[in-house]
Structure 1
């Protein structure tokens, strides 16, 4: 494996010692022996593209694999999506990656694919929302959308005012989470201005208001991403 690491260092702008750290991180994270070199190669390239350290790249890739139950091909696809968003939106790839990590597996439980979580994160970060706030806003939005019968009395009333049934929204999230989310945001955006903030606060909580509110004036941008 040592020879493989040296050979890899000649192809990727990263020292063999740093590549060895990624190999070690992969091993500690339970990456199968036959996947270690591919994992290391992908993590190293991600580190260079995202402008993060070897340790950060290795740890992040291992955590993404675990959180979203992805194989190496799956995590590479996610990394490519994050890199694409980093190149085509105002958000830096490393910031998008951190948001995705903070949201974690809850995104898939709520019905979102990993690419959608990354796109939401990129959009919020592009609005200037910091990573922690963005992740919290996304998770709270997801919780409200999938709440179903566990929604509070006031949330149920708010869903009704928007023309939705709280249980149906939860069911729709499992069929088309992205479409359902956009449908809800569009409905809120069509309310009179003075009602929009209070509606978002009622559904998603006050701590999520700053992160979610910018979506209301950027629906078309969100659709494109």
Structure 2
């Protein structure tokens, strides 16, 4: 039995979605973030030394990292339906998105979250103006331009296809769901990104996505 070590409001939600798309039986072991630090509880370190989510166990295997988990599950259980065959150009494109989502798209989103918190965090009156000034400068001069760069790139990639992997829905779309939902929540998707907005609507309308939400529980990216 596959066990998903599921942290609330985290990347592990897309693992539940993939399992629902595959129609596989699985169990959920739930963990809650610390409400003050928003960090995962120490109990997750008993599963994986980094104490982060997602992590799955499948028999004797324990596996972390979203891209690795998604590729493993798709290769083992998807029977060629959600991931292209090895050695094909389609597989190369799919692998690119599996790595891009975490390696390129997520860092500026994490910086946005961190510097927004710095800007609004409680601080002594003589420190607060300096901290806010630094945070705003970093956001304005680096983080926000990087977010726009990635959004423009992703919007352009959907110009010729409804899905990132090509003509058919694939694990590439599942992997990109988290950064795109985070983009929409933290930075907004205005009228300049109609392709991305339509992608999110298609994604949210999938029955498997809805089932994953029901099983995973409340899901908010603040």
| TMscore range, shorter length | under 0.3
TM-score by length of 1: 0.25
Q: Whose helix proportion is higher, 1 or 2?
A: 1
Q: Whose strand proportion is higher, 1 or 2?
A: 2
